[in-house]
Amino acid sequence: MDAKEIIQGLMSTDRDNVVRASWKIIHSNDPHVLQVVSDQLPAISESVKTLSPNSEPALRDYRFAPELAVEILKCFNQAAVCRCSLYPASNSLDPEEEEHLGYIEITKEEDHLEAYTFEYNCICAHCENRYEVVLHESYHYPLWYWEKLPV
């Protein structure tokens, strides 16, 4: 998906298109794509606010992905606000993926098989905030809980 397709997806009324485009933003580290899409942030933000709730029972409201994508674009636009500030508010950001994208460095990994958890210590590659992340795999899908550590 290029930037134009991401913008169209985020402003679509089709749930699958919105979610697919949202994850492209969430998993992007391409400054050009993020800039082009963030130039349309006011319209995207308004479009996301009008999304209908799930029409059937679901484990998670699909709107969390476009809402997170909007917050990521806001962080991109505001150099003073680091992307890592969003981590504690989202339990869907995988530290291994964030490291792969260059946003953090994992400094410690510890497996707790008996509790179905995995623990990471991470440092933000941009602002050097430190986080402890606990992965819970005992639910229907993995959940990552981020806690900012004191300096």
Confidence (pTM): 0.90
**Mean per-residue pLDDT over the chain, rounded:** 93
57, 70, 89: which is closest to 7 by C-alpha? 70
**Which pLDDT score, from 0 to 100, does residue 57 have?**
84
pLDDT over threshold 80, residue 80: no
Q: What is the pLDDT of residue 89?
A: 92
Average pLDDT estimate for 14-24: 96
- pLDDT of residue 138 exceeding 80: no
Share of the chain above pLDDT 70, in %: 99
Sequence-ordered list of residues with C-beta below 8 angstroms from that of 61, at least 6 positions apart, any chain: 53, 54
pLDDT(146) > 80: yes
Q: CA 123, CA 131: separation in Å to the nearest integer?
A: 6
Neighbours of 34 (CB within 10 A): 19
Are 18 and 12 in contact, with CB atoms under 8 Å apart? yes
Instruction: Measure CA of the first residue to CA of the last residue in the chain; give whole Å.
Output: 39
